[in-house]
Structure 1
Amino acid sequence: MAIVCSVADQGVAALTNILVLVVAARLSTAAGFSVFSLVYAVFTVLLGLSVSYVGQALVLESGGPDVRGACRSAVVFTAGASAAVGAAMGAALSFVPGGTAGGLAVLGLVLPVVLTQDTLRYCFSALRLPHHALAADLVRLAAAVPALAVQPYGSDPARLVAVWGLSALPAVLTAVALLRPRLRGVPADPWRYLRRGHLGRRFAAEFAVGNASSQLAIVGLGLFASPLAVGALRGATTLFGPMNVLFNAATGFGPPLLNRSPVLGRQIRATLALAAALAMLAAAWAAVLYGLPGRLGRQLLGATWESAAELLPATGSQYAAMAAGTCALLTLRVLSPRTTLPLQVVFSLVSVGCLLGGYAVGGVLGAAWGMCVGSALKGCAAWLRVAVLAVARR
């Protein structure tokens, strides 16, 4: 039952993100969605850093004697740190002209709400209460999508960011109500997250080189080159949201399943089969999306559909390559966990180079194919490392 609730919770959280972007695209002009996408990309980076620094370290204490104190400390730290960062963003950008600066300023104001809500999810995971996390995320889904859907067409991106951020308040209140009886009387020590040796520093560094670098490169394209590029890339990748759910499920639940079989060859064959299945599924999903009539496509992404549709072959190919890379990294986490960080560092920089080089050569379409090439190179390198380890252990 706990596994079912955990998978369902991941699915609901992913569905919320997908529907938020879809609804925002339908309500916006192409230029407006580009700004919203850029702000959302910045949020994605900040969320990833928060999850790495606080959430991943927190779940390692699951079942430990101090888990309740760790949960209370995590919530207090996240609320305080995100409020400080958000206030700085809001103060610095409030008087900067332009829609992008306005959207980022509003993001700073709602940052404590959205980041605290996510940390509460990890508290339930650490306390082994995934059904409570699922309940709070269902409230989040039920509040966010209707709140955005009732906004008028052509709404300012800053307004959409504000509505999206504040719609997390019901989920926060629900989670706090469910969590409070478990943490009553437990002291908080938020300073533990600033002490030397905190594991979250390593996790945050791995996220920064593994995921945040490519996100920041896309943000850079929007700020210094073409804001429309961000909207097109984000629109195309939003349509592949179901694949992200499957990748996350493979990463989260794959290691314990693989460890049930100590036979090396059997483990590798299992992840190879999973990689092939996910790659074929990504290709099939890309074919379905590419065959959508324009009328249906515009119902999904509004004015952004035309630019996003041109990128679907490249994005579908990228997700097929990502399937191979995800399963290779899953294999390495089981065989030799320390080998993943160097791969992430090197090939994340390679991916950024491919993204920027592709944009320089072929514009937005070139950037999409550059991301595909970067993912393919990363997957090949990871599987090569798996092969070397397999030979060494024979």
Structure 2
Amino acid sequence: MAASVADQGVAAFTNIVVLVVAARLSSAAGFAVFSMVYMVFTVLLGVGVSYVGQALVLERGTDRVRAACRSAAAFTALASTVTGLVMAAVFGLVGHGGTARGLAVLGLVLPVVLTQDGLRYCFSALRLPHFALAGDTVRLLAAVPALAVQPDGAGPERLVAVWGLSALPALLVAWALLRPRVRGAALDVGRYLRRGHLGRRFVVEFGVGNATSQLAVVGLGLFAAPLAVGALRGATTLFGPMNVLFNSATAFGPPLLNRVRGAAAKVRVTAVLACALAAVAGLWTLVLTVLPARAGHQLLGATWEPASALLAASGSQYAAIALGTSALLTLRVLQPKATLPIQVVFSLASVACMLAGYRLDGVYGAAWGLCVGSVLKAAALWRRIAVLRRGPGPARDDADGAGDAGDGVLTAGSSGGPG
């Protein structure tokens, strides 16, 4: 568990540092382009994690796990290569402007970054999280210096290329650690294309939970205000430590929560967790608010000004996300099938709130719109928990959730961030 939490922290810290260094090296407009490209990568990564990784960690049995890991690694490498080549061809030949060029470069490095991240889930399934930690540590130690030596004013295409290629040492280390443990195992790439593959369901959940809002922000940048994406992404970067806590709670909460007897006790535990995470979000917002402007510029460069104006809205949103994450964790244990309808409805509502807020008050209104959407989703999730507690069914049984323990880890380690 310690190695898994540390791996989550290292992976999240790498994302934070990459964005911070890119912001310091870029102009506000350049960082906006880099942010849009990085957000597209985040969506593609979330799809890959959902389709391959989350199904992989549910495998049981030594031989089945070894075969599944070998097949997952091969499928991820193949699928990311095909996707990357298509992206490079489409945006390189047809697209125009900095964003299109950045997406074309992303296509070229996509097989490296997606395969490297995908191997983390192989180690998770093999119960070797310290190997994932080793690979992600190499990733951090390679990416930060590679980006730091780039000249001021480096274009987003160059930064994307350097960031992507810096994952190559980590990929080689991870593959060297994985290969002896899957050598001789059955290889069946076609399993991921067959009907009934669990990853399809998980992609739907990711799509409505995370990707919808992320793609809406990308669309906002493409069709309305590119600088808005940089400001929103900059504010999100400042709250990166909260994402580590959310991902850790999602990853390790279900198996720990299933040790608690009784639905009422489970709800009490997650309610305390919700209050604790919300309090941490409030304290972190206060720290960022009193941060001197000079220190802020050291972190985000020219992006600090527009990002710092969103601290109140983003801090409130993260407090709401804390409440929603804890409620989602509760439902994952009590009634896993109850989460998808709420994710669908309120993720779309969050996008609508963001767009309405942008129309009313620009990027500042968009940030508050995202906050309102998160509040509505958290309220709906806790209301569903209250209904389960009042009504008959497994949620009232002292042995509740035991049959759903596997489903409770479906979002473990997700890199997409909060929806």
TM-score scaled by length of structure 1: 0.98
**Whole-Å separation in 2 of the counterparts to 1:184 and 1:320:** 46
Indicate the residue corresponding to 1:308 in structure 2. 307
Aligned residue type for 1:21:
L
Aligned pair in 2 of structure 1 residues 62, 227: CA closer, same or farther (>3 Å)? Answer: farther
How much identity, in percent, do the aligned residues show? 71
Alignment of 1:5-20 (within 5 A): 5-20=3-18
Aligned to 2:185, the other structure's residue is in SS state coil
Deviations 1:239-265 (CA, angstroms, capped at 9, x unpaired): 101101101111111111111122222
Deviations 1:139-187 (CA, angstroms, capped at 9, x unpaired): 0000001100100011010000000000000000001111111122223
Indicate the residue corresponding to 2:123 in structure 1. 124
**Whole-Å separation in 1 of the counterparts to 2:250 and 2:175:** 28
**Whole-Å separation in 1 of the counterparts to 2:258 and 2:203:** 26
Question: Which shifted more, 108-117 or 66-75?
Answer: 66-75
Alignment of 1:51-200 (within 5 A): 51-95=49-93, 96-200=95-199
Aligned length: 392
What residue ranges of structure 1 are gaps of 5+ in the alignment?
none
**Whole-Å separation in 2 of the counterparts to 1:265 and 1:181:** 46
Deviation (angstroms), 1:5: 0.6
8 Å Cα contact 1:63/1:127 also seen in 2:
no
Question: Which shifted more, 157-166 or 267-276?
Answer: 267-276
Aligned to 2:380, the other structure's residue is in SS state helix
8 Å Cα contact 1:62/1:128 also seen in 2:
no
8 Å Cα contact 2:98/2:157 also seen in 1:
yes
**Whole-Å separation in 1 of the counterparts to 2:379 and 2:144:** 39
**Whole-Å separation in 2 of the counterparts to 1:170 and 1:392:** 54
Indicate the residue corresponding to 1:319 in structure 2. 318
8 Å Cα contact 2:63/2:185 also seen in 1:
no
**Whole-Å separation in 2 of the counterparts to 1:63 and 1:12:** 29
Aligned to 1:203, the other structure's residue is in SS state helix
**Whole-Å separation in 1 of the counterparts to 2:179 and 2:263:** 45
**Whole-Å separation in 2 of the counterparts to 1:332 and 1:180:** 37
Q: Does 1:366 align with 2:365?
A: yes
Aligned to 1:186, the other structure's residue is in SS state coil
**Whole-Å separation in 2 of the counterparts to 1:266 and 1:68:** 37
8 Å Cα contact 1:67/1:126 also seen in 2:
yes
Aligned to 2:354, the other structure's residue is in SS state helix
Aligned residue type for 1:239:
L
8 Å Cα contact 1:140/1:170 also seen in 2:
yes
| CA RMSD across the alignment | 0.9
8 Å Cα contact 1:217/1:352 also seen in 2:
yes
8 Å Cα contact 1:235/1:304 also seen in 2:
yes
